[in-house]
Amino acid sequence: MAVYLVFSLAVAALWALKYAVDWLAAVNALREKLTCSTTLSRLAASIRNYPGLRYAFGPDSLAVPPRIPYVSAGYFSVFTRKHRDFEHFDSDIVSSVSWLPTPGPVLMLADATAIKEVTADRAKFSKPLAVYKLLTFYGSNVVVTEGDEWKRHRKISAPSFSERNNRLVWDETVAIVRELCQGVWAGKRDIPVSNVVDLTVPIALFVIGVAGFGKRMSWFEDLNVPEGYHFTFKDALHIVSTDLRLKLFVPERILRLGPTKRLRDFWAAYVDLEKYMQDMIDARKGSEKKEERYDLFSSLLDANEEEGDGAAKLSDDELMGNIFIYLIAGHETTAHTVAFAFIMLALYQDEQEKLYRHIMSVTPDDTLPAYEEMGKLSYVMAVFLETMRMFPPVINIPKYAEQDATLPTQNMAGDKLTVPCPKGTYLMIHTPGLHYNPRYWKDPHTFDPSRFLGDWPRDAFLPFSAGPRSCLGRRFSETEAVAILTYMIKHYRVDVLEEPQYAGETFEQRKKRLLRCRTALTLYPIRAPLVFKRR
């Protein structure tokens, strides 16, 4: 216990030191960017009188999570308060002036018109790359680059997300869920799951394994570890994706030392995964006959080879960096959103019954539609989109003002306002504020998938961001989620798992308990016990 305590304190101290160094670097970088006519104090003063939050730690600070008066705005309050801060300050753009972690002002945006302007104009509003530097992992990638460098990455990355890949996602997802239901769960009527993410994470992992890396994996364990490796590909992928936050928050020197089994396993798996990817790159380069495959990694390698030996070609590190970003986006986002969808369907049985009847109307026999018929499953897609609206995977999308600008917005009465946005201002696209804004969404706190069946405010829906920097893998995620929900709800009714200690709770208490969540790379439920009952 003493050793663990010392280690924990050491990690905390190193993280605090790193945080302080990063903050000082941010201050210096900001000072360098400011012209003599626009000092830091003048920049803060230029919007200080605009309504908003005034805390030592701003809402973009991960260091002090809860809201503490005058001290911390609370990072997670971005999700828990949703649109309330905007209502309190009577504007769909709210300022935040703090000193940590971002010196100077931040504008939080829950106005669809202003957000569309910010996401569409990459020259005026750029991505603050310093915020994303931790996402380099195995190498530079399409997420952490801007300008010509971003164009180079996107040109080679975008073709990977093709209709052929989407069809692969659909077919493999159905096969993976069928193996679970007909193999692992064979002969069982009721299947209790102590935490629904323990179900959705492996499904998403297997899908990204085959559709992302071309590595088909099974629910039945493969114990053959190749020589020179610590783990199978499946286990390495699972450990790295599950504990990726360790790479973000624990210094690499500590990870390499491995003072605990969890850290040792993570680092070994992290190194293994890099070797697996390099082996795949080498095998592809050394193959005389290129097998026609449609997984993301193979398509990425093919697109890269078509560039020849020019400057546009991605290095091996950049190839690995991009495919690993696909893993993060395609694995965590879908797994956690489908988990929230199952929770909402378990809580709202009437909505689950509507969904079941819809699925049976589209596919009344034992088969499922082919990928080309996915469009018929409109209510399944609506459930997925409504879940993403209520539980956006990323609650804060940062931007940076490269030049002086103004942004349009409104107060709660609909009166027009103009917000000053001087050069050097950080912006936060406040996804929960936008998704719960009653200006765009009627009864925004109500789970109502039918709102996505007709016309709906597309500019006020940003789970995949928007503009040129929107997520390349949106269709991948939607295809996987619709396949999972269709198969599972067709064959199982989902209920809340009854536990004796919660026997007397009300519906609202149960809902609050099941929907308790946190955010790491994406928003996820902490613990939601459900039971799947075969129909």
pLDDT-derived band of residue 498, with 50, 70 and 90 as boundaries? very high
CA distance 387 to 381: 10
| Annotated binding residue 471 | yes
Instruction: Give yes or no for a contact between 393 and 328, defined as CB atoms under 8 angstroms apart.
Output: no
Give the pTM.
Answer: 0.88
Torsion on CA atoms 4, 9, 11, 13, rounded to nearest 10: -170
Instruction: Give yes or no for a contact between 43 and 105, defined as CB atoms under 8 angstroms apart.
Output: yes
Residue with tokens 């990977």: 160
Instruction: Give yes or no for a contact between 516 and 527, defined as CB atoms under 8 angstroms apart.
Output: yes
CA distance 91 to 87: 7
CA distance 54 to 48: 9
* Mean of pLDDT values over 112-134: 89
φ, ψ for residue 74, nearest 5 deg: 85, 110
Least confident of 11-25, 164-178, 258-272: 11-25
pLDDT-derived band of residue 35, with 50, 70 and 90 as boundaries? very low
User: pLDDT higher for 30 or 399?
Assistant: 399
From the number of C-beta atoms within 10 Å of its C-beta (0-12, 13-18, 19+), residue 361 rates as: exposed
Least confident of 2-6, 29-33, 157-161, 393-397: 2-6
Mean pLDDT estimate for the chain: 87
Q: Is the pLDDT of residue 449 over 80?
A: yes
Q: Is the pLDDT of residue 455 over 80?
A: yes
- At 361-396, the pLDDT tens digits run 999 888 888 899 899 999 999 999 999 999 999 999
CA distance 116 to 468: 11
Helices 163-179 and 474-491 cross at an angle (nearest 10°) of 30
pLDDT for 367 equals 83
pLDDT-derived band of residue 213, with 50, 70 and 90 as boundaries? confident
pLDDT for 134 equals 72
Residues 6+ apart with CB under 8 A from 172: 206, 207, 210, 211, 216
Q: What share of the chain is helix, strand, coil (3-state, %, to 5)?
A: 55, 10, 35
pLDDT for 512 equals 97
Least confident of 175-184, 292-301, 478-487: 292-301
Least confident of 31-35, 294-298, 500-504: 31-35
φ, ψ for residue 403, nearest 5 deg: -155, 165
* CB atoms closer than 10 angstroms to residue 289: 5
Q: Is the pLDDT of residue 34 over 80?
A: no
